[in-house]
Amino acid sequence: MPKKIGLSDWSEQFKLVSVEQIKKFTYYHNSEWGIYLSPPATFMVYGTRELKRLKLDNSFAALRLWGFVFNESERLFRAKQIGKKVIATMGDLGIVPVIIMAFPDCVPFYPECIWWTPFFKESTVLLDTATQLGIPEATCFSKATLGAFYKRAYFPRPDAIFASTGASCDDYSCIMQLVEDLGYEIVWLEIPLRKGQKAYPNNASGRLEEYLIGEYQRVWKKMVELTGISNKNQLIKSIKKANQLRNLVTSIKNLTYEAPKAPLPGLELMTIEFGNLYGYADIEEWIDILKMIKRTIEDRIEKGLGVLQEDAIPIAWITPSADPLLLNLVEDAGLRIVQTEYVINQALVPIEEDIDPFRALARAFLQASLIGKTSERVKRIIAGVKEGKIKGVLITNMLGASHCAMETGLIMRFLSAVPVLAIDVPQPFGITEQLKTRILAFAETLKH
């Protein structure tokens, strides 16, 4: 029966997994150190402490998913050990890695995704280190990135770093500058603010496109310098690969959202959605995992099975939670996530394949979540509310993140037709009974 299970149940289930199955799945096709099919207990023993409390989907596909995701840090080091180039792409959330993957043996990753690490580890080590390096305490949890760059134990020293500034998260712009202060060489990209026709009266979108094309060509040039290779056909192939991933994720989301019973928990779905950014540093293997996830979902739907009660109340979630446990708690309260706005829309939309590849990437980026109007950002959710598919909205704020402080009030105004709960994500291991009560009260409001 599909369900969410805790660590000891997963350990019990893992007894049934054969050695042959364990050896079957590897990253970078390496059977010596590329095995990743381990139970949650393995990662817990190595310090991922929240796994003692989290509940995860009980499918074999989910075992693969979590093994692969928790293995990422090692994977990046291994990539470097076998001669691949590890490229840090910061701040743009979804486009630059498509360019990087056009170059052979280049592995992109997002250092900011380490913001989940303090929560998974229930540890303030990285946050405290960032504070010691000059980031104020009241800053977005993505400051963990700075601590990780300093410590050099979470990912290898990148062969190149591309960082986006401009119309990006203010906090993260500061963090990236401090990374540069640590002695890392950074190639900076400018993200333009997407405004309406009034601000750019002469072909607004066209001008922004041209600007972004120039920025992406700079990335391309730097990569050519780094690798000595320049093959635009590979960029076209890379876009096709990115679209394969994006289409797969879209279908997984649609299947899950529309099924009478949720066939997959919200935590796994969030993890899947963020995989669109860079395929967790091995896009081929990640796509293979998602195909298995999709088959699992289809099978569950066909059998009428799900991981949540059929009467779970559909909600939308805005801004991703740094603390994965919140997704468990929300579902435990009887809610079901059927729409999300996790600030990575540019990583979810299809990239045009029949135009110049740089223009296609620019157009995809112009659909980004945070570079334009709030009304644009939440329009899909507003539509869902109007159609009666969404009964409430949950917003998770990051303390200090400027877009949260500025946007949450606006979002609540746009979504006034349904109850909205906005909560600040507390520090690691900081979820209080009071916060749980607020979530339960929100669920009660929606039920009655």
Partner 1 sequence: MKEVLNPRERFGLLVIDEKPDRCNIIPLITSHSATVYKIGLKEYYTNGKTMAKAQIAAIEEYGHDAISIFSEVGIIAEAMGSEFIYPDDDLPVLKSPILTKVDVFALKVPNPQKDGRLPIYLEAIDYAYSAVGDKIPILAYVPAPFTTGMMLSDPNQFLLATIKNPNQVKAIIEMSLKAAIDFCYEIINAGGLPIIVDPLASSSVISPRAYQEFALPGEQGLIQFLHRYDFDVILHICGDTTPILDLLLQTGADLISLDKVALKLAIEKLAKKMRIIGNFDTTKIGFGTVDEILKETKAMTRIGMRAEKGYIVATGCEVPIFTPTENVKAFIRAAKEAGWYWD
- Rule CB under 8 A: which residues touch partner 1? 7-8, 11, 14, 17, 19, 22, 33, 35-39, 41-42, 44-47, 49, 52, 73-74, 77-78, 81, 121-123, 125, 150-154, 156
DSSP letters, 30-78, are -TTT-B----HHHHHHTT-GGGGT--EE-SHHHHHHHHHHHTHHHHHHH
Q: Please, what is the minimum distance in Å from the beta carbon of residue 36 to partner 1?
A: 8
Q: Please, what is the minimum distance in Å from the beta carbon of residue 146 to partner 1?
A: 13
- Is 132 or 254 the residue whose CB approaches partner 1 more closely? 132
> 417 by DSSP, 3-state: which?
coil
- Is 152 or 295 the residue whose CB approaches partner 1 more closely? 152
φ, ψ of residue 335 to 5 degrees: the values are: -105, 160
Q: Please, what is the minimum distance in Å from the beta carbon of residue 107 to partner 1?
A: 15
Q: Please, what is the minimum distance in Å from the beta carbon of residue 19 to partner 1?
A: 7
- Is 212 or 325 the residue whose CB approaches partner 1 more closely? 325
Secondary structure percentages of the chain, helix, strand, coil, to 5: 55, 10, 35
- Is 151 or 413 the residue whose CB approaches partner 1 more closely? 151
- Is 110 or 149 the residue whose CB approaches partner 1 more closely? 149
Contact 3, 58 (CB under 8 A): yes
Q: Please, what is the minimum distance in Å from the beta carbon of residue 137 to partner 1?
A: 19
Q: Please, what is the minimum distance in Å from the beta carbon of residue 129 to partner 1?
A: 9
Residue 157 DSSP one-character state: P
**CA distance linking residue 423 with residue 107, whole number of Å:** 35
SS (H, E, C) 160-188: EEEEEEECCCHHHHHHHHHHHHCCCCCEE
- Is 94 or 156 the residue whose CB approaches partner 1 more closely? 156
> 89 by DSSP, 3-state: which?
strand
